[in-house]
């Protein structure tokens, strides 16, 4: 298991291309979900200097609960269909929000957050987690982020127990 990241600089795609194999190595062989999600959050934040990176876990049929994250304090529970994370869960698809102030029903855990991307993580065709990444800059996420974060979601999914 790697304990240190070799962080690349440059284009987003180059950083993701370098980072994803390192994250896979970091979580391979570790069965503890909380430890893995904590390290993934730290690796993403460290590599991209995102404002907030974390996970929400499906806690029941109607609620997400805050999991490991890096950044300012966050909302603890989110109802299905509410905010960006709850909408991602309900729609079962990734969502890019260029300006969170323009997203209907956005839950403002921090006024510093300006844009956001959320990605569902599925196991056996069922959403188990939501990856939530916030930026303190408007329009900070694009299709490159979505593509690579969805690849990361697949890596995480493969490490989940059934």
pLDDT digits (tens, 9 = 90+) for 118-134: 999 999 999 999 999 99
The predicted structure's pLDDT at residue 160 = 87
What pTM value is reported for the model?
0.93
**Hey, which residues does 121 pair with through a beta bridge?**
129
- Across the chain, mean pLDDT equals 92
CATH architecture, range 12-159: 2-Layer Sandwich (3.30)
The predicted structure's pLDDT at residue 106 = 62
Q: What are phi and psi of 99, to 5 degrees?
A: -140, 105
Query: How large is the average pLDDT for residues 38-50?
Result: 96
Query: How large is the average pLDDT for residues 127-148?
Result: 97
Both structure tokens of 135: 């930026």
Is 90 exceeded by the pLDDT of residue 139?
yes
Is 70 exceeded by the pLDDT of residue 36?
yes
Domain boundaries, the chain: 12-159
The predicted structure's pLDDT at residue 108 = 67
Is 80 exceeded by the pLDDT of residue 111?
no
Could you give the CA distance from residue 64 to residue 11 in angstroms, rounded to a whole number?
33
Query: How large is the average pLDDT for residues 139-149?
Result: 98
The answer to whether 54 touches 41, Cβ cutoff 8 Å, is yes
Picking from 7, 10, 37, the residue whose alpha carbon sits closest to that of residue 22 is 7
50-109: per-residue pLDDT in tens?
Answer: 999 999 999 877 899 999 999 999 999 999 999 999 999 999 999 999 999 888 766 667
Is 70 exceeded by the pLDDT of residue 33?
yes
Q: Return the residue matching tokens 């069965």.
A: 31
């Amino acid at each position: 298991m790697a304990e240190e990241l070799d962080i690349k600089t440059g284009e987003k795609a180059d950083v993701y291309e370098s980072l994803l194999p390192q994250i896979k190595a970091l979580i391979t062989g570790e069965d503890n979900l909380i430890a893995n999600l904590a390290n993934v959050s730290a690796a993403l934040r460290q590599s991209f200097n995102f404002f907030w990176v974390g996970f929400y876990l499906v806690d029941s049929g109607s609620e997400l609960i805050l999991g490991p994250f890096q950044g300012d304090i966050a909302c603890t529970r989110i109802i299905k269909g509410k905010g960006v994370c709850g909408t991602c869960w309900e729609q079962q698809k990734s969502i890019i929000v260029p300006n969170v102030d323009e997203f209907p029903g956005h839950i403002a855990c921090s006024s510093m957050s300006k844009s956001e991307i959320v990605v569902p993580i599925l196991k056996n065709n069922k959403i188990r987690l939501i990856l939530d990444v916030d930026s303190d800059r408007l329009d900070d996420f694009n299709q490159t982020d979505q593509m690579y974060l969805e690849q990361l979601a697949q890596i995480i999914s493969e490490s989940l127990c059934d």
